[in-house]
Amino acid sequence: MTVDTLITGGQLVQPDGLLDASIAIAGKEIVAIGSESELPAAHEKIDASGKLVLLGAVDVHVHLDDMFSNDTYETASKAAALGGTTTFVDFAWQAWVGEASIFDEESTLVEGIERKQTKAEDSLIDYSLHGAITRDDLAVFDEFSEMIDRGVTSIKMFTAYEFGLSNGFIDRVFGEAATHDLVAVLHTEDSSVCEVITEQFKREDKGEPEYYPKSRPDYAEAMAADDAITMAMEAGCRYYGIHTTCRKAAEVIEQYRTDNHDMIRAETCTQYTVADDSLFDEVRLLPMAAPPLRKPDDNEAMFEHLDRGTLDVVSTDHCGYTRNQKQVDPWWEGTFGMNSLQRSLPVFHDEAVTSRDFSYPFLVRKLATNPARIFGLANKGTLDPGTHADLVVFDPNKTEPIDPADNASVADFSIYAGREVGVVEKTFVRGDLIIDEGEIVGDLGHGTFVEREIPIWEN
Ligand SMILES: [Zn+2]
C-alpha cells in the first residue's frame, strides 16, 4: 500500500498529549500515526522537522457575507486557511425586515440555509451553519425537523438588537429545541440596560470611542446569561453561551454548570483573552463589537475559566468590515464586529502557550477538539484514523509581525497589528494541501458543507 502523503519529523499535538510521530494521509483521511518506519510509503513526503503538527482550528462562530460581514466565503475562507482554520460555522438567517436587515421580505430558516449554501460555493475550507431565529414566530418550530435533516443541529438566539427575541419566546424555543435535542446558542446582553445607557450617552453627547464599552456593561451580559440559562435548564435544553467576555458572566455560567454539567457549554473569543478596553484609546472604534472588550482582569478571568473548564472553546466572532466602515463618529453610528479569522490561532498560541505557559494540547482542545465535539462535527477535531486530515504545520519559532497588508479578508486592519506571532506554514483540508509556505495553493470551492450530527455531550 502506498498512501498519498506522509508528514514526518514533526511533533504531533494530540488533544491529550504530544507525540513525536509521523502521520499518513490517504485521500481525504488520516490512515495511521506512528514512527515513519512503521508507516506505508507515500507519493509525497512533507518534512515537518522542528515544527508542530496541529489539528486545524474549528471556528464555530463566524459571520460571512450578510449584514454583519462584507467578507464573502472566498475572502473569509482564504483568511481562515492562512491562519490555520480548516472548518468554520456561519449563520443561516431566518430573514427579517428591519433597519439592520439586508432582506426585503421575511423568509424561513430552511431558505436561510439554502441561501448560505449558495453563497458558500467558493469556500476554500469546510463550513457548516447554525440556524438563527430572528422573530417571535411559532411557525419556526415546524422547520426544526427539516433543519436537522439538512445537518443543522443548533439554533442561535439573541437577547439584544432588533432581531432579539423576548424572554417569553426564548423560553418556548428552549422547550421545542429540547424535544429535538438541538443545541441552543445564545448571545446574551440585557437589551434594556444597554439601550437606556446608550440613550443617556446620546443625550450627553458622549460620542467618543471610550464611552462605547461603558454602554454595554459586564453585568448586562451576566444578567442575560443568568436568565437564558435558567430558562434552558427548566426546559432541559442544551445551552451554548457564545462570546463570553467577562468574569461576571463566566461566574454565572460556572455556577449553573456545576449542577448541570452535561447541559451547558460556553466559549470566549481570541480578542477577549488578549485585548481590553484601553484599545479604544489607541485605535478608536476598530475593536467595536458586542459585547465589548472589557478590563485586564476579564482577560485573566477568561484564562482562569478556560483552565477550569467553564469555557470550552475559543472562537473569533469574525466580521469582515473595513477601517472606513469602523471609524465613524459618534460611536453609536458604528458597526459591530471585527476581523480575526487569519490571526486567531497564531495570536491565541502566542498568548496562551508562549506567554502563559498553557500546553499545546490545551490549544488544540480549545480551538479544534472541543468545538467539533460540542457541535457534532464527527470527522473534525480528531486524529482518529478514518477521520478528515484537517491539519496545520505550525512553526512557533519563526515569528513574524502581523501586518494587515497581508489580510485576505476585505478588512484592511487588524487589532493585533505588529504583534510577533508564530507562522502557519501549511494547511491541509481533507488531505489536500491548500496553504503552502504561507501561500494559497488550494482551489476555491474545495470546501464542502458539513452536515452535523446531533452531538453527544458528556463529561
Ligand atoms: Zn457573533
CATH of the domain at 315: 3.20.20.140
pLDDT of 160 over the 80 cut:
no
Instruction: Assess whether 11 and 133 both reside in one domain.
Output: no
User: pLDDT (tens digit, 9 = 90+) per residue, 230-289?
Assistant: 999 999 999 999 999 999 999 999 999 999 989 999 999 999 999 999 999 999 999 999
291 C-alpha vs ligand 1 centroid, how far in Å?
Answer: 9
**C-beta of residue 158 within 8 angstroms of C-beta of residue 241:** no
Structural domain count of the chain: 2
35 C-alpha vs ligand 1 centroid, how far in Å?
Answer: 42
User: pLDDT (tens digit, 9 = 90+) per residue, 86-111?
Assistant: 999 999 999 989 888 889 999 999 99
Is the Cα torsion angle 136, 138, 139, 143 positive or negative in sign? positive
385 C-alpha vs ligand 1 centroid, how far in Å?
Answer: 33
Has residue 449 been placed in a domain? no
Instruction: Assess whether 47 and 61 both reside in one domain.
Output: no
Last residue of a domain, one of 374, 397, 414: 374
d(CA 54, CA 396): 11
- Entry field: residues in the chain: 459
317 C-alpha vs ligand 1 centroid, how far in Å?
Answer: 5
Q: Is 262 helix (H, G, I), strand (E, B) or coil?
A: helix
Instruction: Assess whether 365 and 235 both reside in one domain.
Output: yes
270 C-alpha vs ligand 1 centroid, how far in Å?
Answer: 13
199 C-alpha vs ligand 1 centroid, how far in Å?
Answer: 23
User: pLDDT (tens digit, 9 = 90+) per residue, 272-331?
Assistant: 999 999 999 999 999 999 999 999 999 999 999 999 999 999 999 999 999 999 999 999
286 C-alpha vs ligand 1 centroid, how far in Å?
Answer: 16
Q: 20 burial class (0-12, 13-18, 19+ CB within 10 angstroms)?
A: exposed
The predicted structure's pLDDT at residue 55: 98
Instruction: Assess whether 117 and 223 both reside in one domain.
Output: yes
d(CA 300, CA 353): 14
Helix %, strand %, coil % of the chain (to 5): 35, 25, 40
Other C-beta atoms closer than 10 Å to the C-beta of 35 total: 10
335 C-alpha vs ligand 1 centroid, how far in Å?
Answer: 13
**C-beta of residue 456 within 8 angstroms of C-beta of residue 374:** no
Instruction: Assess whether 45 and 67 both reside in one domain.
Output: no
d(CA 147, CA 93): 12
pLDDT of 435 over the 70 cut:
yes
Confidence of residue 189 (pLDDT cuts 50, 70, 90): very high
316 C-alpha vs ligand 1 centroid, how far in Å?
Answer: 8
40 C-alpha vs ligand 1 centroid, how far in Å?
Answer: 44
Within 83-210, where are the H helices?
109-119, 144-149, 167-180, 191-203
Which helix (H) or strand (E) segment holds residue 423: the answer is: strand 420-429
The distance between the two most distant Cα atoms of the chain, rounded to a whole number of Å, is 74
50 C-alpha vs ligand 1 centroid, how far in Å?
Answer: 36
The predicted structure's pLDDT at residue 179: 98
158 C-alpha vs ligand 1 centroid, how far in Å?
Answer: 10
Give the orientation angle of helix 167-180 with respect to helix 218-235, to 10 degrees.
Answer: 50
User: pLDDT (tens digit, 9 = 90+) per residue, 36-49?
Assistant: 999 999 999 999 99
Has residue 308 been placed in a domain? yes
358 C-alpha vs ligand 1 centroid, how far in Å?
Answer: 26
pLDDT of 459 over the 70 cut:
no
The predicted structure's pLDDT at residue 101: 87
User: pLDDT (tens digit, 9 = 90+) per residue, 4-23?
Assistant: 999 999 999 999 999 999 99
194 C-alpha vs ligand 1 centroid, how far in Å?
Answer: 17
Q: Is 33 helix (H, G, I), strand (E, B) or coil?
A: strand
Q: How far is CA 3 from CA 382, 433, 434, in A?
A: 19, 15, 18
160 C-alpha vs ligand 1 centroid, how far in Å?
Answer: 12
Has residue 348 been placed in a domain? yes
Which cell is 404 given? 494587515
Domain hosting 37: range is 2-54+388-440
139 C-alpha vs ligand 1 centroid, how far in Å?
Answer: 24
Considering the chain, what percentage of its residues have pLDDT values greater than 70? 100
Instruction: Assess whether 175 and 143 both reside in one domain.
Output: yes
Instruction: Assess whether 64 and 50 both reside in one domain.
Output: no
134 C-alpha vs ligand 1 centroid, how far in Å?
Answer: 14
Q: 99 burial class (0-12, 13-18, 19+ CB within 10 angstroms)?
A: exposed
R_g (Cα) of the chain, nearest Å: 21
Q: How far is CA 114 from CA 132, 147, 320, in A?
A: 13, 11, 22
pTM higher than the cut 0.85: yes
Which helix (H) or strand (E) segment holds residue 265: the answer is: strand 264-269
Long-range pairs for 350-355 at CB < 8 Å and ≥24 separation?
Answer: 350/419, 350/420, 350/421, 350/422, 351/273, 351/274, 352/273, 352/303, 352/306, 353/396, 354/396, 354/422
92 C-alpha vs ligand 1 centroid, how far in Å?
Answer: 12
d(CA 244, CA 298): 10
Has residue 256 been placed in a domain? yes
pLDDT of 148 over the 70 cut:
yes
388 C-alpha vs ligand 1 centroid, how far in Å?
Answer: 27
pLDDT of 117 over the 90 cut:
yes
Backbone angles phi and psi of 132, in degrees to 5:
-125, 120
52 C-alpha vs ligand 1 centroid, how far in Å?
Answer: 30
208 C-alpha vs ligand 1 centroid, how far in Å?
Answer: 24
d(CA 348, CA 300): 14
360 C-alpha vs ligand 1 centroid, how far in Å?
Answer: 26
Instruction: Assess whether 362 and 395 both reside in one domain.
Output: no
The predicted structure's pLDDT at residue 444: 97
302 C-alpha vs ligand 1 centroid, how far in Å?
Answer: 18
d(CA 345, CA 223): 30
433 C-alpha vs ligand 1 centroid, how far in Å?
Answer: 29
In the numeric block, the cell 482518529 is attached to: 384
34 C-alpha vs ligand 1 centroid, how far in Å?
Answer: 39
13 C-alpha vs ligand 1 centroid, how far in Å?
Answer: 29
CATH of the domain at 405: 2.30.40.10
351 C-alpha vs ligand 1 centroid, how far in Å?
Answer: 22
Mean pLDDT for all residues in the chain:
96
Q: How far is CA 101 from CA 18, 34, 162, 163, 436, in A?
A: 47, 52, 9, 9, 38
242 C-alpha vs ligand 1 centroid, how far in Å?
Answer: 8
